[in-house]
Chain A
Amino acid sequence: MSSALVYALTGAALFVLGMAGLILQPHLLRKILAFNIMGSGIFLMLVGVAQRAGTPDPVPQAMVLTGIVVAIAATALALALARQLLDMNGEMRLPEEKTGKDRLDV
């Protein structure tokens, strides 16, 4: 098993784990953490790809750096929103009743 494949599989596992968390965890903080785990999975994969040919490939490294910046921005925004929700609702979760359901106003 090549090291690139190890990276790739670990990355994929992290991605799936994160995705499950993002969808299934009700607590917003956990959702946000799960998103970051997903991101890490992808970055790991890219870093693995970069090492494939003897000399490191700079392009994926640059992509990971950019990705990290984007992820930080997204996380910051998510935390700010979660904080506001906490102030208003007193808890860090999305109101349950309408989640994923269509509104049937009658």
Chain B
Amino acid sequence: MFDPMPWLILSPLIWATLAFVHGPGRGGRLAVACLILQLSLAAILAQQVIAGGVRMYAVGGWGAPLGIDLMADGLSTVMLLLTQTIVLPLAFYARAYFVGHANSLRYFWPLTGYLLAAMNALFLSSDVFNIYVTLELLGLAAVGLVALVGGAGPITAAMRYLLATLLGSSAYLLGVALLYGVYGSVSLVALKPLIAADAPATVSLAAALMLLGLMLKTALFPFHFWLPPAHGGAPAPVSALLSALVIKASFYLILRLWFDLFAPIVSITAAQLLGALGAGAILWGSFLALRQTHLKMLVAYSTVAQVGYLFLLFPLATGMSAEVAESAWQGGVLQVVAHGLAKAAMFAAAGAMITATGRDEISGIAGVATRIPLTLFAFALAGVTIMGLPPSGGFAAKWLLLGAALASEQWWWIVVMVVGGLLSAAYVFKVLRQAFLPVEETASFQLLPRMLEWPILLLALASLVLGLVGIEVLSLLGAA
């Protein structure tokens, strides 16, 4: 049987390198073609997982412990599918966005390709050390993307991001070293029964180090300081990639570790603590988003807030009845998917509005409703998901999380979710309201190419439709 797993990693590596050699023109076309291919590969993999459960692949036929095993289960397939689905429209968008910025575009395709290779490899990795390598590659490619356009702001943001991400992955690596010291293995499959059988204090230390490192990379409050300047300062296609996907990669790892590897040793107290940090992120992030005067900074702080929702999953799923835990788990993963699609659309829309008006303050986008209604419509649709209103993917996620909170009688998370939802409505409408304001006819306004607007709408619609087909995602998630 054809195995798409290695090709999901090789394909971006190949086109990234070729794009570097051939320059942005041909490189961009090649990237788009390969991304279509990758999307089909991910779809094939999804079908295989639905049909046959977890899939393993030994790279080069070597196999663990000396070789590298690739593994695809429901969760990793969902993430792979999400990644390819988001990157493809963004690639079209980027081609239109970077017209006239040949210099930025020169490195955009190679770096995006390497980023994608690292991310796909991360989702397919089945040992904690290999995960470290992919995590580091992902971080380096992301930092390169932030620094893409140059200039004091982006370079500073990139530097700060680099230091944060290095600190995070070092903590993670130390945890890996400790784990190997205790058990003599790095394979997820081999470690799990060992940890369940006997877990000395060193293992708890390792778990804490690994989780803390990943939380820093996920920009969970209060480790979010690096995110807004990096995501808000990068060019729009890059911001979209980073906010929609890169932080989700480290969150995916937290999920893996928490619910899989360290499931025997995690405590309800720790889960409540994670939830509390998530609540802090929701409230503080939303509040700051509301206070921003720059469009992309608002969207970036919205990411800080939305990451908080992801972490509510832990107190709702840890130590609760199987039914509650499942509903929370499903809600959390749906939130990952919904936020990924919506935030990609939102950053892309913000970039389009800034390009059209030539101003990056929120006050500068008056008149957008009349001049580029399609983009604004896409922004609003993405906003519906961010606010968690029906019939969006964000709503489906919130529904499941609320249900879990009610069933486990943890009403304090309900308050957080409701207040957070209202705050997010406040900051989304802060933008929409401005866009509806009339503007003088004389105001300069740049027309946008169609290929800049349609991918945004596509992403936004996807985040909305997710609310109606959530059950399909969940069936893939539960397939293995």
Q: Which residues of A contact B (CB under 8 A)?
A: 4, 8, 11, 15, 18-19, 22-23, 28, 31, 35, 38-39, 41-42, 45-46, 49, 52, 57-60, 63, 66-67, 70, 73-74, 77-78, 81-82, 84-85, 88-89, 94-95, 98-106
Contacts and interface: CB of A to CB of B under 8 A. Distances in A.
A100 B288 contact: no
A82 B129 contact: no
A42 B177 contact: yes
B155 A85 contact: yes
**Which residue among B137, B155, B160 has the maximum number of chain A CB atoms within 10 Å of its CB?**
B155
B147 A81 contact: yes
Contact of B229 (A74, A81, A98): A98
A104 B301 CA distance: 11
14 contacts: A19-B167, A35-B163, A42-B174, A66-B129, A67-B132, A77-B143, A81-B162, A82-B159, A84-B155, A88-B151, A98-B229, A102-B284, A103-B297, A104-B288
Interface SS of chain A:
helix
A81 to B, nearest CB: 5
Given A60-B180, A66-B133, A81-B159, A42 B288 contact: no
A104 B291 CA distance: 6
B126 to A, nearest CB: 15
Nearest to A15: B174
B156 interface: yes
7 closest residue pairs by CB, A with B? A105-B293, A49-B181, A100-B225, A70-B136, A45-B177, A81-B159, A38-B170
B297 A74 contact: no
Contact of A94 (B139, B147, B156, B181): B156
Contacts of B144: 77
B288 to A, nearest CB: 5
Given A19-B170, A66-B133, A106-B291, A46 B180 contact: yes
A11 B176 CA distance: 14
Interface string B185-227: 0100000000000000000000000000000000000000100
A69 B101 CA distance: 33
Contacts of A52: 181
Contacts of B133: 66, 70
Interface in B128-147: 129, 132-133, 136-137, 139-140, 143-144, 147
Interface of B: 65-66, 129, 132-133, 136-137, 139-140, 143-144, 147, 150-152, 155-156, 158-160, 162-163, 166-167, 170, 173-174, 176-178, 180-181, 184, 186, 225, 228-229, 284, 288, 291-294, 297, 301
B68 to A, nearest CB: 11
A73 B144 CA distance: 12
A23 B223 CA distance: 13
Contacts of A88: 151-152, 155
B390 to A, nearest CB: 31
A35 B292 contact: no
A42 to B, nearest CB: 5
A89 B144 CA distance: 19
Contacts of B139: 74
A102 B225 CA distance: 7
Nearest to B224: A102
B125 to A, nearest CB: 13
B181 A31 contact: no
B166 A49 contact: no
Contacts of A89: 152
Contact of A8 (B137, B167, B181, B284): B181
Nearest to A101: B225
Contact of A81 (B66, B158, B181, B288): B158
Nearest to A43: B177
A49 B292 contact: no
Nearest to A76: B140
Contacts of A104: 288, 291
A85 B159 contact: yes
A45 to B, nearest CB: 5
